[in-house]
Amino acid sequence: MENIEELKKSLTAEINQAGDMKALEEIRVAVLGKKGRITEMMKGLGALPPEQKIETGKSLNLLKGEIEQVLTERKSVLEAKELNDKLAKEIVDVTLPVRPENQGRIHPVSQIYEEVVAIFGQMGFSVAEGPDIEDQFHNFNALNMPANHPARQMQDTFYIPNPDSADFDDSYVVRTHTSPVQIRTMEKKELPIRIIAPGRTYRSDYDATHTPMFHQVEGLVIDKNITMAHLKGCLYDFVKAFFELDDVPVRYRPSYFPFTEPSAEMDIGCLKTKTELKIGAGTDWLEILGCGMVHPKVLEAGGIDPNEYQGFAFGVGIDRLAMLKYGIPDLRTFFESDVRWLKHYGFVPLDSASMTGGLSNNGGAAR
């Protein structure tokens, strides 16, 4: 029995010295293979006397099991080593940059559209639309601006000749404001009314602060008991939500629009320095929108009885809101399609304005 113990020792040592899987396999074959040492020893059992046969057989079986165990352990050690060696050769420079992906952008005008819709949606408004090319009835006359009204000259209008009439007063116009949507909404005769109408507007004016096309959002609320107090409340709620501030100082100045009376302009408090404009603080005022109680003549033109219904309307520049909120300095750049500008001032595709999820920058960081 002495020699089995020794054999075990020497085989174990030999196995644990095997440097790779090949050497280990060679040892296994040499020990446990068909002609392996232990196999041969087991074959030799038959020649032994019976009492010795049982004893030796037991020892050999035990030895075989133990050697198999050693082989398995060594195998897993060698496999791990082999894998490590392989992986060590597979190293890459993970500081290399990733494959380029082009993350697109949403234009600030679309972003503001979504923000404005989210805020007024919360107040029960729906979104109305109207055509960019208008007839003079909807763009002017119905809004209490008859042909020679001086207010028409305040709006440098683009005209499109009417193919069916040589009379200039029958020309079509490219709408100078979103206000014609007020009339188109009233004409549907679905009262009460609570709509906003965002869209493109056009005036023949091009300088640092004017572009021949710009964007407005019109608001119209008509019901039996809507007062100027509601106008103030609604617009105050809007500016606070829009600028994402707890409070914004506001001021109203009497003004004049042919289609509202009383008319007012709304200013918000701000701080102007040479380098920045901070909304909500400071001693300066910034004009932000025009508004007023809908003129009885406008209600009549829209087919609504001004003795029964009343309400308010307002109009605000979408591009201007974008400039103020997001610090975009020049209106003209909105329409230049410069990819550097679009990438810088645009919003990531997952940004999605909502009152519950936040108005802005909720789509993660730009890439």
Of residues 99 through 158, those in contact with other proteins by CB under 8 A are 99-107, 109-110, 113-114, 117-118, 120-127, 129, 131-135, 138, 147-151, 153-154, 158
CB-wise, 63 or 239, nearer to other proteins? Answer: 239
Determine which residue in the list 12, 59, 141, 171 makes contact with other proteins, applying CB under 8 A.
171
206 forms part of the interface with other proteins (CB under 8 A): yes
CB-wise, 56 or 238, nearer to other proteins? Answer: 238
Q: How far is the CB of 281 from other proteins (least distance, A)?
A: 19
190 forms part of the interface with other proteins (CB under 8 A): no
Residue 209: count of CB within 10 angstroms of its CB: 10
Q: How far is the CB of 330 from other proteins (least distance, A)?
A: 14
Interacting span for other proteins (CB under 8 A) from 36-44, 51-59, 75-83, 346-354:
346-354
Instruction: Return the closest-CA partner of residue 234 out of 289, 308, 166, 298.
Output: 289
Burial of 201 (0-12, 13-18, 19+ CB in 10 A): buried
DSSP state of 226: -
Q: How far is the CB of 41 from other proteins (least distance, A)?
A: 50
CB-wise, 83 or 206, nearer to other proteins? Answer: 206
Calculate ∠ Cα 149-252-289, nearest 5°: 60
CB-wise, 47 or 339, nearer to other proteins? Answer: 339
Interacting positions 255-314 with other proteins (CB under 8 A): 255-256, 258, 261-265, 293, 295-296, 310
Q: How far is the CB of 226 from other proteins (least distance, A)?
A: 8
172 forms part of the interface with other proteins (CB under 8 A): yes
Q: How far is the CB of 16 from other proteins (least distance, A)?
A: 45
Q: Are 187 and 302 in contact (CB under 8 A)?
A: yes
Q: How far is the CB of 308 from other proteins (least distance, A)?
A: 12
Q: How far is the CB of 303 from other proteins (least distance, A)?
A: 18
Q: Count residues contacting other proteins (CB under 8 A)?
A: 98
339 forms part of the interface with other proteins (CB under 8 A): yes
Distant-in-sequence, close-in-space partners of 343: CB < 8 Å, separation ≥ 6: 105, 366
Cα separation, 283 vs 11, in Å, equals 93
Question: Over the range 20-57, which residues count as b (16 or more CB within 10 Å of their CB) and which as e?
Answer: eeeebeebbeebbeeebebbebbeeeeeeeeeeeeebe
DSSP 270-295: EEE-SS-EEETSSSEEEEEEEEEEEP
Cα separation, 113 vs 215, in Å, equals 9
CB-wise, 71 or 293, nearer to other proteins? Answer: 293
Q: Are 104 and 349 in contact (CB under 8 A)?
A: yes
Determine which residue in the list 202, 242, 243, 314 makes contact with other proteins, applying CB under 8 A.
202
Torsion angle, alpha carbons of 68, 70, 73, 78, to 10: -100
Structure tokens given for 360: 């802005």
- Going residue by residue from 208 to 247, which x/- string records binding to other proteins, judged by CB under 8 A? ----xx-------x---xxxxxx-xxx-xx----------
